[in-house]
Structure 1
Amino acid sequence: MLGYIGLFGSLALLIYLTMKGVNLLISAPLTALLAGLTNGLAFFPQTALDEQANFLTSYMNGFTGFVGSWYLMFMAGAIFGKVMEDTGAADSVSKWIVDKIGVKYAVFAVVLAAAVLTYGGVSVFIVAFSVYPMAISLFKQANFPRRFIPAALGLGSVTFTMTSAGSPEIQNWIPIPYLGTTPYAGWEVSAIVALIMATIGCLWLNWMVKRAVGKGEEFITRSTDPVIDELKALPNPLLSMIPLLVVLVISFIFHDSLGTSALIVALTGGCLAGYAVNFKFAKAVGATLAAGAMGAVVAIANTAAVVGFGGVVKATPSFLATVDVITSIPGSPLIGGAVSIAVIAGLTGSASGGQTIAMPLLAPHYIDMGVDTEALHRTIAIASGSLDSLPHGGYVVTTISSVCGEKHKDAYLPFGALTVIIPIIGTVLAIALFSLGM
């Protein structure tokens, strides 16, 4: 019993501290330690029995494993964002959008930009870096509260795009070897669910922004924001879109052969294209590169701290027992699979982590039951993108704190509404449609 209290209590404490703005580099390892000690994990590897997990190794394997896998991509993404900002490309594109479709559609423009990059193969962790400079410019011109920017980025990245049929994101690919499906599994239902999720999400976000504006909220400029000089010449907006297209095209072309490493090539190409088409508008190149690199270090450290927490959680006996229980839920395989994936993703703060842990256990059991593998694939993919967006989730921390510089207490409510509730609605809808024979 103590182990379960420690497991779920540490998660609740981490969420509470995150919402209170406590630095994750402190709160994540401390709450992970609580989970480890209450579950009988040794602190050091030297004091652990043979084959026994220990806190230090479990935490640091999660932390360093994430840094090792993602640092170069985080750095390339952060630098690309700074290049778009410092060359004036982000301001130029955002001004063009405002002039063409009107300032009241600024929110939809941010969602669309994030969605296109995500479905084009750019990792959800990197999309925020790429779109944020344009989002800042759009929200400033529209005078919308900046605390809704993370919600717009999240809606475009981790809801109707990340887990849809055909998406190149890893959350859509993990089930394939376990179920023998393809990335397009259940595409008919997926298309309907994605359209409904996008529609509800956009309308809800727009309502929240208008409601906040009606209460007197407005865009608050920070000293770190790029300054829009109305008298200063901006680069051509169509040329300024070329770096984004370069990232999208290169990522799409090399995704199958290079996997996530294609992002390094794509983002580097985007940076080079940004300077090639708008070099005369660029600020000091060295300062831009340095600022992007430092931003990447902060972002990946915060995210890795949470991943380390997940590493300790996964090593605890109470977590393993919990996985056994929820992966054995009786009844419809679609419901059982969705609940299992969502809960494990919530505990680990990762949609891909939840799938990786649960799929080896779920797939053989449900296949033996004669489940429609395409329906199961699509259901668990959508479900994985729900509870992974609780306040402590890796993507949540990166987007809200590291990229957008917002506090959870200000930005998480709209963010959570769109990235937790909307995917839950999508999951329920998918189960209903598959159950009706679609």
Structure 2
Amino acid sequence: MAVLGIFLALGLLIFLAYKGFSVVVMAPVCALVAVLLSGMSILPSYTEIFLPNLANYLKVYFPFFLLGAIFGKAMEESGAAKAIAKAIVNKLGKERAVLAVVLSCAILTYGGISLFVVAFAVYPFAASVFKEADIPKRLLPVTIALGAFTFTMDAFPGTPQIQNSIPMKFYNTDLYAAPVVGIIATIIILCGGLAYIEWRKRTAQAKGEGYGTGHKNEPEFDENEALPSFGMSLLPLVSVLIVTLVLQKVVFPNWNIASWATQAPYNMAEGGITGTMNNWALIIGLLVGSILACLSNPKTMKVTIPKAINLGAIGSFLAILNTSSEVGFGNVIKSLPAFKSIANALIGINSNGSPLLSEAVAVNVLSGTTGSASGGMSIVLDMFGEKYMAWAAATGTSPELLHRVASMASGGMDTLPHNGAVITLLAITGLTHKQAYRDIFFITVLKTGTCFIMIFLQSFLHFV
């Protein structure tokens, strides 16, 4: 009954999230269902397990959500995100409409802009060029998803997205961990995704299907809208990458802080100093990018700078509370006696080899279950991070590989139908799951499969 309760709670959370209920409210409710069926105390599980773990995630990752949201809002309100998308779409034209949309999303995401902001910024230009090229609109969500939700989210080395920063704390790595694995995976995902979408486009057009009519949420596209220059728009994105790279690779490695950081009042764990310093680098990079985004294009800002900052800050609260609630949910489940058998099964995968396969399966399963890449990965690494590190040391597996595999696996099955980003993307484009999710699911399978392909290749070729 206890094990059944765990799966019932997981299924209930998926169903309620899919139906539009807030995860902030439903995550503790579903967790307490599992607690009740396990015969444990409900209120202590809520106050002593759920809330402390929610707060711990909030404490560690709040700066990334806050600064990322402010950065994205400043890029949106100044028109910089639109300017970048418009320049790329105009340059490549309707003949390469799919590639233009994918590259627009990829550049914005890799520059540190939130996935949700990217979808809002790119959609008007993407819809316009798809309509001009007479490409079915139902293929627009998968095209945006390929550019924003896949390789630049967690595979390509250096991406400042939260999915690539979480493993740093656990493995003492940086954003550029396992660059060869990340680059090869990026090539597979990008080429495979583009080939699939182009095939779907040609098949539809051969049957006489075009962009279609009567669509909802058709954007009001103003070709003469005042936008900042491409160069000034690109400056904040480049600054995030450069500042983070210089700090992580040049400045912080030569900064010995162990002598004072491990003492009161900081009491940092010496083994986690490198990962913490790399988190500092990303915080500083996003701060610099946010300042430049606010100041580099003041004439095109649609709102005042204080209002842009306030809107970004407010927007970050729901995102981090959703993820923190999912982490609290996962830790309640982890505390249940019945979960030990599930944990042993996950850890037992490929027990005689490297921990990569076990890690990939566990992160994929939990990310898919919670509908959150960062939430699922955080739960797994909280539970098994130390075990994976010890396992890696015993088998000669690089911590950088653990980082890259965890990051890539988190962006796999998380995009199931109840995923918040998928629901938002479909709402932005005015389409339904029935119309567009089939193709998004293919990209999900491609992304998940690529992670396991890289584990298989690495076991033979031993690259990092």
Which of 177, 191, 201 aligns to 1:199? It is 191
Q: Secondary structure at the match of 2:223?
A: coil
Matches within 5 A, 1:174-253: 176=171, 188=180, 190-205=182-197, 214=209, 216=211, 228-253=221-246
Kept in 2, the 8 Å contact 1:21–1:408? The answer is: no
Partner of 2:332: 312
| Structure 1 gap ranges (5+) | 46-53
CA-based RMSD of the aligned residues comes to 4.0
Q: Is 1:342 paired with 2:337? A: no
| Cα displacement (A) at 1:163 | 4.0
Partner of 1:36: 35
Kept in 1, the 8 Å contact 2:236–2:289? The answer is: yes
| Cα displacement (A) at 1:5 | 0.8
User: Taking structure 1 as the reference length, what is the TM-score of the superposition?
Assistant: 0.77
| Cα displacement (A) at 1:100 | 0.8
Q: Give the aligned residue type for 2:27.
A: A
| Cα displacement (A) at 1:185 | 7.1
| Cα displacement (A) at 1:270 | 2.7
Q: What CA distance in whole angstroms lies between the structure 1 residues aligned with 2:405 and 2:98? A: 28
Kept in 1, the 8 Å contact 2:139–2:197? The answer is: no
Kept in 1, the 8 Å contact 2:411–2:447? The answer is: yes
Matches within 5 A, 1:238-317: 238-255=231-248, 257=252, 258-285=277-304, 286-317=306-337
User: Taking structure 2 as the reference length, what is the TM-score of the superposition?
Assistant: 0.73
Q: Deviations over 1:314-349 (max 9, x none)?
A: 222222331112212356445445434534554564
| Structure 2 gap ranges (5+) | 132-136, 253-276
Q: What CA distance in whole angstroms lies between the structure 2 residues aligned with 1:7 and 1:117? A: 39
Q: Is 1:91 paired with 2:82? A: yes
Q: How many equivalent pairs are there?
A: 415
Q: Is 1:137 paired with 2:124? A: yes
Which of 441, 452, 456 aligns to 1:432? It is 456
Pair 1:189–1:264, CA change in 2 (3 A): closer
Q: What CA distance in whole angstroms lies between the structure 1 residues aligned with 2:57 and 2:423? A: 19
Higher mean Cα deviation, 163-172 or 133-142? 163-172
Q: What CA distance in whole angstroms lies between the structure 1 residues aligned with 2:143 and 2:94? A: 18
Identity %: 28
| Cα displacement (A) at 1:114 | 5.1
Q: What CA distance in whole angstroms lies between the structure 1 residues aligned with 2:407 and 2:301? A: 41
Q: Secondary structure at the match of 2:222?
A: coil
Kept in 2, the 8 Å contact 1:106–1:142? The answer is: yes
Which of 83, 89, 114 aligns to 1:127? It is 114
Matches within 5 A, 1:18-33: 18-33=17-32
Q: What CA distance in whole angstroms lies between the structure 1 residues aligned with 2:181 and 2:60? A: 33
Q: What CA distance in whole angstroms lies between the structure 2 residues aligned with 1:398 and 1:61? A: 26
Q: Secondary structure at the match of 2:42?
A: coil
Kept in 1, the 8 Å contact 2:109–2:115? The answer is: no
Kept in 2, the 8 Å contact 1:163–1:172? The answer is: no
Kept in 2, the 8 Å contact 1:174–1:356? The answer is: no
| Cα displacement (A) at 1:35 | 1.8
Q: What CA distance in whole angstroms lies between the structure 1 residues aligned with 2:8 and 2:183? A: 38
Q: What CA distance in whole angstroms lies between the structure 2 residues aligned with 1:300 and 1:379? A: 23
Q: What CA distance in whole angstroms lies between the structure 2 residues aligned with 1:7 and 1:32? A: 8
Kept in 2, the 8 Å contact 1:87–1:278? The answer is: yes
Pair 1:383–1:82, CA change in 2 (3 A): closer
Kept in 2, the 8 Å contact 1:167–1:183? The answer is: yes
Q: Secondary structure at the match of 2:20?
A: coil
Pair 1:363–1:347, CA change in 2 (3 A): farther
